[in-house]
Structure 1
């Protein structure tokens, strides 16, 4: 990131974000909580824009007559460019900087979301989704670096899962908001409004974000706490070795463990993100508005459960456990929990079904969030975090890309969702094995 010029910043209110605040005075301020809030909400917006097409699918299909296979391609379209751009943009974070990377990304994808309203058919909708996907690829690598930069080691599990929890909160908010806009106006108006929301967030980001070293609104005590505890050493760290090369990182066994685990978890997460509204409509004969409400329930519950589980992992694991990568045990448990997806086709009651879907989503999304935290735990060079998060996201989102397409073909070929859920369960079991067997070694810097 290099040297930074001092900039005057608007100072956020000094509020307490956890139960430890105000016990000893100035040394326990938690103003870094504003950074956690910013990165949590950017992921919410990211996923609102992703799920919008799924919620608005019914009127779009009615207008254009798209088949399930065509909708599968549209649902996954943003992931094509997202996957292609993840690693290149992750490698650029160190050069361009977190602030500009995230800000530029949300400006472009919000514009693409709004322009979806001007689409005239399959090709133009797909084009808007492709642009959206490419620009959304900035979020996870850059924000992963921000978490490593801003938060002490023992807070990373909670903050990373909160950050990743935006991938559950976003669909929940997006399902209700998009359904309300479509029901009250039309699907085109919905996309314009959703695009505008991103620009409101961008203003806040440009005002408040900076590094801990340059943030004028931090107390000196909190700044010292961040710098001394973010690497688990008890010593202030402002310099690190140069980032490792892509080839070196790909030669590390633990990196492949992270990638393969993420792939297996994200397959299920994207099956739900893209097909859950359509699944509920087709199997329960729900209206667009009711589909929005019922899609939101599992996602909202998942946020609360996921944050609680992450908090427990931070509390239970000692610094030695974190450095040894024992967070993998929590990830394996989440993969097993998500295998309850096998029960979904056999549950008759709607609310019992929502309970099962909630547990499945909690396992898949919390597991993927903890997997990002595990990457940070295993890395000995903080400047490698953005790169490894990008590589891990690539693996996850490649499987996320094929998930809605495979599901579309399976639904079209079998007339139901049972085999789609069985495929997901097999991958979840594989993910459990990958995290337990392949993430046992720390990832040392290439350059000492």
Structure 2
């Protein structure tokens, strides 16, 4: 285990003083709110498919295995472009990348509502993944640029609750739109909302002028990216990201169908109950994160101590393994809401841990891209593997057991490995550092 005393990290350019001089201490909350909305829209668009899957599956005659492949299809391009798109983000800034990314995935949603066969639909999902690739890099960059170090964990957790609000809103709105119209109208309306956000972001957000200008920043080499994996702290953070992402994509893709399978309820009832789970999880995540931060940092403010928050939250999320023990609505919803709430809090703490431990804040976009590339390469298998499990066993039990065990292991590794600052060394610097 690394020493907590090894983590005295520099604050980028006396951030608090710089922001005050620029008069941005108030407007930064507008930026945070827009990032929150971006997560809401992103996950609302992802939820659109999960709630539409029963009708879409019938229209295109899909088996459970095929549904799993369709659910994972946006991840095919998403994980491949996480790193390149966030490297571009570090070069040109969050304003341009954010506007273009959301516009592109919103266009993909519009096209998805107009397809005539499953092959065309898969192409629109791949395009959706291209647009969504830099999403979390944009969020991490905004938090690193505009949030004070002491508040990054809380800010990140609150922003990430936008994912759950998006899943809740997208699920319940999608269920009603499908009931009143059809799944195609659902996709078109959600696409229009994304275009509106892109316009507002372009008009409102401004890249900070802290440190180097965007145009003068050096490109980040793949040698630097490779050297990330020599950091035990980065490896510990990455393991957590991979594990929580797997469960996140599993639930996002299969939760409505799981509730239909287990509770035998209709599409509107499924949408309502799924939305309640997401909303309860979002509220719970904020409360859990605040309580754990106050306890963990009470006697020692060392940034690396945030790993204990990550470990505790993952232990809570592992209760998802209790689901096979229940077959009625109330306990199922309670277990899912509690596990999701802990998962969101773990994600927020782990993301804040990455921003805290990274020495060069100008590279946060690229480093976030690396973590997303790795975690999404694993996460894309979650819908597929679950589809095969359901097809072979007729139940979801093994999927929940696998996730539960993996979350416990990831929490232990986070506590054991995270401690020293994360450095990205260039060619030549490796020798000087004795690597």
> How far is 1:369 from its partner?
2.0
> How far is 1:136 from its partner?
0.0
The yes-or-no answer on 1:348 pairing with 2:344 is: no
Give the direction of change, closer, same or farther, for the CA distance of 1:106–1:29 in structure 2 (3 Å limit): closer
Distance 1:321 1:41 in 2: 34
Q: What is the total number of aligned residue pairs between the two structures?
A: 399
The residue aligned with 2:352 is: 373
Calculate the TM-score normalised by the size of structure 1.
0.85
For 2:250, which of 263, 266, 271 is the aligned residue?
A: 271
The residue aligned with 2:388 is: 409
* Partner-residue secondary structure (3-state), 1:365: helix
* Partner-residue secondary structure (3-state), 2:113: helix
> How far is 1:322 from its partner?
5.3
Distance 2:388 2:339 in 1: 22
The residue aligned with 2:367 is: 388
Distance 1:38 1:199 in 2: 13
Distance 2:318 2:418 in 1: 21
The residue aligned with 1:116 is: 112
> How far is 1:77 from its partner?
0.6
1:44-443 alignment to 2 at 5 Å?
44-213=40-209, 238-239=211-212, 245-316=224-295, 318=297, 321=300, 323-443=302-422
> How far is 1:249 from its partner?
2.1
> How far is 1:186 from its partner?
0.6
Contact 2:112 2:124 survives alignment (8 Å)? yes
Distance 1:146 1:321 in 2: 26
Contact 2:317 2:404 survives alignment (8 Å)? yes
Give the direction of change, closer, same or farther, for the CA distance of 1:196–1:339 in structure 2 (3 Å limit): same
The answer for unaligned runs of 5 or more in structure 2 is 1-22, 430-435
> How far is 1:421 from its partner?
0.7
The answer for unaligned runs of 5 or more in structure 1 is 1-26, 214-236
Q: Aligned-residue CA RMSD in angstroms?
A: 2.1
> How far is 1:253 from its partner?
2.1
